[in-house]
């Protein structure tokens, strides 16, 4: 277990050294392969604890899907069958969708139901 930022940085440096040798990545029998996997797991555990990834908000998820699909607010409201003002409220966090609209958002925009429902 990594206990400090100093240890974390030292391990990151060692990982970089190990990654410079392709054998450590491709050959599961190589000594460096085993070390690289162990150190990578330690770093992943440390980063999960120190730099947790917070779940997306509904507004963030909708904005991402809008960007991915090239939708503006009007196009999104047409796509979902809602008014632009209601979509604006969702995007600004001023209101939450009804269960029916939440279902449509989840299904049509491929957003996890847990994000849409805020659970």
Q: What is the per-residue pLDDT for 73?
A: 94
Q: Where are the domains of the chain?
A: 5-50, 58-117
Question: CA 55, 57, 61, 64 torsion: positive or negative?
Answer: negative
d(CA 12, CA 89): 43
Contact 24, 3 (CB under 8 A): no
User: How confident is the model over 14-59, as pLDDT tens digits?
Assistant: 999 999 999 999 899 988 999 999 999 999 999 999 998 877 899 9
Q: Provide the mean pLDDT of the chain.
A: 93
Superfamily of domain 58-117 in CATH is lambda repressor-like DNA-binding domains (1.10.260.40)
CB atoms closer than 10 angstroms to residue 106? 19
């Amino acid at each position: 277990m990594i206990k400090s930022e100093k240890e974390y940085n030292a391990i990151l440096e060692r990982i970089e050294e190990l990654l410079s040798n392709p054998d450590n990545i491709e050959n599961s029998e190589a000594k460096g392969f085993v070390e690289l996997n162990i150190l990578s797991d330690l770093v992943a555990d440390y980063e999960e604890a120190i730099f947790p990834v917070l779940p997306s908000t509904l507004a963030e998820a909708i904005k991402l899907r809008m960007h991915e699909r090239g939708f503006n607010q009007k196009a999104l409201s047409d796509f979902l069958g809602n008014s632009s003002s209601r979509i604006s409220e969702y995007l600004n966090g001023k209101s939450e969708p009804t269960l029916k609209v939440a279902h449509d958002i989840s299904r049509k925009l491929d957003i996890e139901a847990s994000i849409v429902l805020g659970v």
